Amino acid sequence: MRVGGGLAVFGIAAPAEGTFDPEDFDVASMQEIEEVEVEEQGLEYFTIQQARVVHDLTARIYPSDDNGPGAPEAGVVYFIDGQLNSAWGRGERWYMQGPFAGKDPTSPFEDDPDEPEDVDPETEVPWAEQNPSETQGWQYALTPNEAYDQAIWAIEEHTQSAYDADSFADLEADQQEEIVAALENGAVESFDRVDIDASGFFLLVRQNTLEGMFSDPMYGGNREMIGWRLKGFPGTPGALGSYRSLIEDDEYIELEEGDYRRLADDIDSLGIDGDNEVPANEQSEEGHAHVHDAAEADYPNVVDEAAARGETEIEATSIDLDDADDGGDQ
Amino acid sequence: MVQQLEPVDVVTIGAGWTGGIVAKELAQEEYQVVSLERGGERETENFFTVHDELGYALRYKLMQDLSKETITFRNTVDEPALPMRRYGAFLPGSGEGGAGVHWNGQTWRFLPYDFEIRSRTIDEYGEEKIPENMQLQDWGISYEELEPYFDQFEYTAGIAGEAGNVEGEIQEAGNPYEGPRSREYPLPPMVETPVLERFKETADDLGFEPFQAPSANLTESYTNPDGVQQGQCEYCGYCERFGCEWGAKASPITTVLPAAQETGNFELRTHADVVELLYDEEEDVVEGVRYVDRRTDEVYEQPADVVALTAYVLNNVRLLLLSGIGEPYDPETGEGVVGKNYCYQNFGASARGFFDDENWNLYMGAGALGASFDDLNGDNFDHSDLDFLHGGNVALNQTGDRPIANNPVPEGTPSWGSEFKAQSLEYYHSSISVSAQGAVLPFRENYLDLDPNYTDQYGQPLLRMTFDWREQDRNLVEHIGPQLEELMAEMGADRVDATTTLEGSFDITPYQSTHNTGGAIMGADPNESVVNNYLQCWDAHNLFIPGASAFAHNSGYNPTGTVGALAFRAAEGIQEYLDSPDMLADAES
């Protein structure tokens, strides 16, 4: 759900306590941020020049600053590059049949042998003159990777005409910010020559930047869980992860290094203990007994075969498998 | 070449909640049942790597493949409809278990008022209270008649909650506005977290009657009446758009489908995409269904004594229209029935609070972990001086704030750059919201039909949705929104951003809810409805169509509890029909 557009302006808040200490990170320290560069190695979709543009775009959207590392350190450009070389980037699960409003010729179905028989002539529309309503969602004739190709071209075109530079990636940060603001406002003229508008591309790259900051590191972004550490998100609970023993606590859990990706999991009982500190959930007495119970419980399954065949009338019963874990109600 | 198969007793189109319930009930009665599911097989073991927000929540791993089939959409009849090319407002599922695998688990019974909404509105306020274009209809069944089926669904699923009304006795802890239930919920309610406690205390101070919301995230390991066991919810925060690796969120794959399999009378055929119901208009029966095996592109015809149309709402309506069953609805004349009374859910009223000095562990949660009140829902408050009908359930849900989707910032904050980053980090653990789940009532020009231009993978017309907000919806938001704003302020928020008006047209871009309803509605009059109160089609006696497509309007709740009850009702009707093939209800007009 979107919120309405109020105009109140908020100042920049101080960083949330404990969210960022450069010492915690095994990555470029803040002093070295300028040196984070795109390397050709490993690119799956972009050219090196395209990647430099996207790298800087995402760095403006989620910057490295006093609040901690941002898109460059998280490797967001590599995340997006990988996504564009996936089924998603190719739009394989999007409906991409024409005609496309604002693009395809008028009355595109006239000579179409597959035309449904019951076409009502009144519903035919001159597609090329038809602008989709904003409420109708994505109507560009583009998959995500095509959208990136065209938008990057348009951004470079705009840079060359409006700034004395060859590439967006060569601009100063404040100049890049001007362009990102213009993208958001749909005010970049060179986009008139491509099939996506500037604000549509802004929404796409903004969304992908957040995805690259905070998705599972297996997708190539959120390197070393930078995004999760920034946010104080303990990492996705692993298979059979649980917060049941913690969720009722009044106390807010200040995460420590050993907690990331471990808070919800009883690593010991799963037999994959590392050498990190003791996670918060193991510090409490009732913290983790359920994992043993879960390993014993083989559910869901049919435990009363006669009942499942509808052969018996049994009263609903509640079987508590894990007496050992009733500590959560304190 | 079309391959003819041997007839079976019952075929269901889809194997989600409705198909699964029908399949189980009939298979247990020794009938041969086949479920045709367009997607693949699924089981709990598939979800050991499910805690992947990108893959499941944002790349829609469990949803229908839109490249093969989607809908077209427009706000008004004079616009051209354009295809929903990528996901936004709602997320139809695909695969065994259907959307019942990726739901949150919020499980409600609609109010007694809902089923008799037209009569009760006229009794209470007079007929002039109903706006001219609002096609308010009774459902042809009362809450009391449906109660046993609600009970069946809740005990089959293992719903956790606090009863508010047991056989007419109001219970202190529960929802005093709910219809009388025959017994308590099978499981105790979900835990009360610090933010839910805050919500309840504040709501109580303001004179509302809060309670713990009912949940299909199981609070204890549970063996249901079919002898099927499910696990206990671990509050990991990955429900909606995800499957549950614990088997702790009731779904068809953890309940009714395993029970159906156990009978030996049930066959699930996956990758079986039904493209047409074989309708004999003269005999008023459906002889069977035609489907494509997606793995081979072979086309089959499966004859059956009874056909249960148990696809998603939108597919139910589309298959009726493609098969020529029932008279298509015409918004100009208001005549016809198939596609009529399409409704949705109005989440326009909400209030988000930002707390400067408090933090909570909001990444922990469960899809149906919530606190709620019903004082502003249904006709639980006096509408005499109000310019709308119905209302909405108000809730604070702690579903688990996953990190990509949750970057809460106060209004006016830029959407990118250092200030966005600072604010979204500041409030990630200290921003909560309350919202009203507004009922959407039927209007003459909100409807479903076939699109004249766009087609699916087989060249068949897509379903076309025509829908927009009405004054009813805007007035409802303007009434409830400010009350939510006050509630959030009273909860202690340092700043409240509330939406108290519903601006513009319905927009298919942002996710809102998958509570699409109507289009094949139930009722007592064949001229006003598609199915009778056994969910039996007036125009095809052996065709039963349970599902939210049967809702004559949408209430202020999540639909699944009522969908489940209707499916048990239909299953009983099918059994009666198989014993004695006839119309099960008399037409009134």
**pLDDT (tens digit per residue) in A146-156:** 999 999 999 99
**pLDDT (tens digit per residue) in A269-281:** 444 444 444 444 4
Residue B274 scores a pLDDT above 60: yes
How far apart CA B204 and CA B383 sit, in angstroms, is 22
**pLDDT (tens digit per residue) in A68-85:** 999 999 999 999 999 999
Contact A310 B230 (CB under 8 A): no
Residue B572 scores a pLDDT above 90: yes
**pLDDT (tens digit per residue) in B359-374:** 999 999 999 999 999 9
CB-based burial, B393-425: b 16+ in 10 Å, e otherwise: bbbbbbbbbbbbebbbbbbebeebbbbbbbbbb
CB-based burial, B232-266: b 16+ in 10 Å, e otherwise: bbbbbbbbbbbbbbbbbbbbbbbbbbbbbbbbebb
Residue A288 scores a pLDDT above 60: no
How far apart CA A20 and CA A17 sit, in angstroms, is 8
Average pLDDT over residues A200-229: 96
| CB A242 within 8 Å of CB B248 | no
Q: Which pLDDT does position A328 carry in this prediction?
A: 34
Work out the angle at residue B439's Cα, subtended by the Cα atoms of residues B347 and B517, and round it to the nearest 5 degrees: 100
Best A76, A125, A136, A263 residue to mutate vs chain B (most B CBs within 10 Å) = A136
Q: Which residues from B are below 8 Å from A19, CB to CB?
A: 425
Q: Residue B1 — very low, low, confident or very high, per pLDDT cuts 50/70/90?
A: confident
Put simply, the chain A residues between 257 and 286 with a CB less than 8 A from any chain B CB are 264
Cis peptide leading into B258, omega within 30 of 0?
A: no
Contact A62 B421 (CB under 8 A): yes
Range in A62-71, A320-329, B21-30 with the lowest mean pLDDT:
A320-329
**Mean pLDDT of chain B, nearest integer:** 97
- Sorted by where each begins, the domain ranges of chain B are 2-579
Residue A319 scores a pLDDT above 60: no
How far apart CA B244 and CA B231 sit, in angstroms, is 10
Q: Residue A285 — very low, low, confident or very high, per pLDDT cuts 50/70/90?
A: very low
Put simply, the chain A residues between 11 and 70 with a CB less than 8 A from any chain B CB are 12-16, 19, 60-63, 65-68, 70
Q: Which pLDDT does position A109 carry in this prediction?
A: 58
**pLDDT (tens digit per residue) in B384-435:** 999 999 999 999 999 999 999 999 999 999 999 999 999 999 999 999 999 9
Q: Which pLDDT does position A123 carry in this prediction?
A: 55
φ/ψ of residue B544, rounded to 5: -115, 135
Q: How many percent of chain B have pLDDT more than 70?
A: 100
Catalytic residue among B390, B479, B515, B541: B515
Q: Which pLDDT does position A271 carry in this prediction?
A: 45
Contact A308 B49 (CB under 8 A): no
Q: Which pLDDT does position A270 carry in this prediction?
A: 46
Task: Name the superfamily (CATH) of residues B2-579.
Answer: FAD/NAD(P)-binding domain (3.50.50.60)
Q: Which residues from A are below 8 Å from B29, CB to CB?
A: 310
Best A247, A251, A315, A330 residue to mutate vs chain B (most B CBs within 10 Å) = A247
Minimum CA–CA partner of A185 in chain B: B415
**Mean pLDDT of chain A, nearest integer:** 76
Contact B428 A231 (CB under 8 A): yes
φ/ψ of residue B44, rounded to 5: -55, -40
Q: Which pLDDT does position B33 carry in this prediction?
A: 98
Q: Which pLDDT does position A251 carry in this prediction?
A: 92
**pLDDT (tens digit per residue) in A97-146:** 999 988 776 666 554 545 545 545 555 667 777 789 999 999 999 999 99
Residue A3 scores a pLDDT above 80: no
DSSP state of B132: T
Q: Which pLDDT does position A165 carry in this prediction?
A: 97
Which comes out higher in pLDDT, residue A162 or A242? A162
Residue A18 scores a pLDDT above 50: no
Q: Which pLDDT does position A117 carry in this prediction?
A: 52
B515 flagged as catalytic = yes
Position B569: which residue type? R
Cβ–Cβ contact A130 with B under 8 A: yes
